[in-house]
Amino acid sequence: MSWCGLVNINKPTGISSRKVVDCVQQLVWPAKAGHAGTLDPLATGVLVVCVGSATRLISHIQSGRKRYIGRFLLGKRSPTDDIDAEMVEGGAWSNVTANQIQQLLPDFLGTIQQTPPRISAVKVGGHRAYKLARRGEAVELQPRPVTIFSLKLAEFQPPEFELEIECGSGTYVRSLGRDLGERLGCGAVMSKLCRMSVGPFTLSHSILLDSIDRLSLAQALTPPLAVVADLPRRSLDPTEICMVRQGQAICSKIDCDVNYGGEVTLLDADQTLIGIAVREASSQRLFPKVILHSTP
C-alpha cells in the first residue's frame, strides 16, 4: 500500500508524542511518519500524525490555530510549570476569586511576549532547553511573541481553575497558567491539558491510539488536501506535473486577484494534491514550494 495522508489521534495521557508516532511508524513502514506539534506526556487530545510524503505538510499544520482546555492548580510552582515535576509552595491562594481571574484574562489576549518553560523543547545555543536543565546547566530563555485569540474562564473550583484557550503556533499553555498565577500572587501549575483542535482536525473526529491497526489506520487517513483546502487551486496537466516535480515554475492561471502573491495548491486531474506553490504577483508565475512524492 502507498501511504500518504494524515491521521488525527486522540493521544492518551502518560506517553510522549514520539511514542504515538512510533506506533504509527510500525504500521506504515517503510513510509515515514511524524507528528505536527508536540503534546507533553501529561496532555491528551488531538495529535496529527503525518504519513508518507504528507510529512512535508507538517509546518502548515503547525501554523494552524489550536484550541485547548487547560486545568491549573493555584498556590504551587514547579520547574516544568506543571504537576509533572517536584512542586513547591507558591503562596496563599484562598483569597483568589473567579472575578480576579476574569479581570486578568484580557491582559493575555492578542500578541503577547511569553517566556517558555525551562523544561521545554525550545533550543538554546543549538541544544534543547530540557536537556540543559536536566544536566544542571543554567537555562536563560528569552520571551518570544505568541498570539492568544481567545481566553475564557470555564470553571473555578478553588484551588483549581479551568481555561478555554484558542491560540497560535508556539504558545505554551503551561506558561500561560504560570504567568497568570504570578499575576495573582500565588503561582499556578498546569494539572491537566486537552488539545481540542489543530486547524481543521478536532477531538470529536479523532481516533483512539489503542484502536489502530493497518486497516483502521488506512480508513482513518485524511487526504493531504484537507490541510490546505482554503487556498486557491490550480489543476495541472501531465507536462506541468513533471515541471513542478523538477522544481520549475509554471504560469499561474488561477482565478484570484492579480496582486495575490500567496500560496496556491497544485492538483492533478483527480484533484489529488501534488504540492504547494507560491505565486509571484509581478510575473504571475507559480514557483514550487512543497512537492509531495507520488510514492512514500
Concatenating the DSSP letter of every residue in the chain gives ----EEEEEEEPTTS-HHHHHHHHHHHHTTS-EEESS---TT-EEEEEEEEGGGGGGHHHHHTS-EEEEEEEEETEE-TTSBTTS--EE----TT--HHHHHHHGGGGSEEEEEPPPSSSS-EETTEEHHHHHHTT----PPPEEEEEEEEEEEEEETTEEEEEEEE-TT--HHHHHHHHHHHHTS-EEEEEEEEEEETTEEGGG-EEGGG--HHHHHHHPBPGGGGGTTS-EEE--HHHHHHHHTT--EE---SS-TT--SEEEEE-TT--EEEEEEEETTTTEEEEEEE--S--
pLDDT of residue 132 exceeding 90: no
Residue 296 pLDDT: 42
Mean pLDDT of the chain: 90
Residue 140 pLDDT: 72
Q: Which residues of 236-254 are buried (b: 16+ CB within 10 A; e: fewer)?
A: beeebbebbbeeebbebeb
CATH match of 231-291 with 2.30.130.10: yes
Distance, CA of 289 to CA of 248 (rounded, Å):
10
Lowest-confidence region among 39-53, 97-111, 125-139, 146-160: 125-139
Residue 12 pLDDT: 96
Lowest-confidence region among 120-124, 149-153, 245-249, 273-277: 120-124
Instruction: Give the domain ranges of the chain.
Output: 5-64+200-226, 66-198, 231-291
**66-198 matches 231-291 in fold:** no
**Is 75:184 a contact under the CB 8 Å cutoff?**
no
- Tens of pLDDT along 156-174? 999 999 999 999 999 999 9
CATH match of 5-64+200-226 with 3.30.2350.10: yes
Percent of all residues in the chain with a pLDDT value above 90, rounded to a whole number = 77
pLDDT of residue 28 exceeding 70: yes
Lowest-confidence region among 195-204, 255-264, 285-294: 255-264
C-alpha cell at 168: 497560535
**Is 37:48 a contact under the CB 8 Å cutoff?**
yes
Average pLDDT over residues 40-63: 94
Residues that are catalytic: 40
Lowest-confidence region among 38-42, 139-143, 283-287: 139-143
Average pLDDT over residues 261-284: 90
Percent of all residues in the chain with a pLDDT value above 70, rounded to a whole number = 89
Amino acid (1-letter code) at residue 65: R
Residue 194 pLDDT: 98
- Tens of pLDDT along 73-120? 999 999 899 999 899 999 999 999 999 999 999 999 999 999 988 766
**Is 267:232 a contact under the CB 8 Å cutoff?**
no
Average pLDDT over residues 140-146: 86
Distance, CA of 181 to CA of 123 (rounded, Å):
25
Residue 177 pLDDT: 97
- Tens of pLDDT along 1-13? 679 999 999 999 9
CATH-assigned architecture of domain 66-198: 2-Layer Sandwich (3.30)
Q: To which residue does cell 501529561 refer? A: 42
**Is 51:186 a contact under the CB 8 Å cutoff?**
no
Distance, CA of 148 to CA of 171 (rounded, Å):
8
